[in-house]
Every structure is written in structure tokens, then in C-alpha cells.
Amino acid sequence: MSTASTRLPEGRYGRAADERADHTLRIVGIALGAALLVLVGWLGYHYVGQSEISGQVITFQAVSDEKVQAHLEVRKDADASGYCTLRSQSANGTEVGRADFRFDGRQTRIDRVVTLRTTAKGSTAELLGCHAG
């Protein structure tokens, strides 16, 4: 005597429930991956492409217990104006000064030595960011 098979005949009753679930999961994964890719591209474009003003601290020096001088280089569009925010910290990491410095005019590259007033001796001069406006 032969035993009857418990498997269904191939292709006779459509897809199994597991196959349908796998197919649905694959489609959802592709859609979410594409949405994530679009979001990262959009954020990257607005972060890099829309930046009208940028800067960097070239050098800095604590000239006294109340002042830190920083050589700041700013690059911007010719018609843009904006400001850069600098901060200074003491040797133990406490913030001792913060200020905004405005940059206007038609120049696209500006080198300027700025003086940041502090509440105690500053050991750093850190550029927090530059913003148009």
C-alpha cells in the first residue's frame, strides 16, 4: 500500500500564505527604502546646496583674561549677508564667552580677526556655525 501525499499539487491552488506574505513584505521594504533614500537626498541637498555662508577659525589666541582673538575666514555668496557664532571655553570646559559676528558686503571671501569678550580666561575659540540672514 502506498501512503497518500499531504502536499498539495504544485500550482493547483495558487500561492501559499507564506509566499504572499513574503511578497508583501518585500514590496513594503522596497517602498520604505526608496522613501528613506529620497529623504536623505533632500536633507543633503538642503544642508550642502543651500548653504550661502560658511566659515572656519584659522587661528586663535587668548590675549587676556577677558578677551580671545580669533582669525575667522568666511566664504559666502556675493549677495548674501549673515553671521557666524563663536564661543570660547575655559581649560575645564566651561563656556566663558559666546558672540555673533555679522558679515555683509559684496566680498565672497572675508578674512577678519574678531575679538570675543569672555568672563574668564578662554582656552579655545570654536566656530559653532554660520547662518545667512
Of 50, 72, 91, the domain-final residue: 50
Q: Domain tally for the chain? A: 2
Structural domain including 90 reads 53-132
Provide the b/e sequence for 107-122 (b: ≥16 CB within 10 Å). eeebeeebebebebeb
Q: Are residues 79 and 112 in the same domain?
A: yes
Same structural domain, 58 and 118: yes
Side chain identity, residue 124: T
Residues 92 and 32 reside in one and the same domain: no
Kindly state whether residues 63 and 22 are assigned to the same domain.
no
* pLDDT per residue of the chain (133 residues) written in tens, 0 to 9: 566 667 766 666 666 667 777 888 899 999 999 999 999 998 887 766 665 788 999 999 999 999 999 999 999 888 888 899 999 999 999 999 999 999 988 899 999 999 999 999 999 999 999 988 8
Do 76 and 62 share a structural domain? yes
90 and 75, same structural domain? yes
Task: Identify the residue whose cell numbers are 544642508.
Answer: 47
Residues 64-99 as b or e (16 or more Cβ within 10 Å = b): eebbbbbebebbbeeebebbbebbbbbeeeeebbeb
The reply to whether 77 and 22 lie within a common domain is no
**Sign of dihedral through CA atoms 21, 25, 26, 28?**
positive
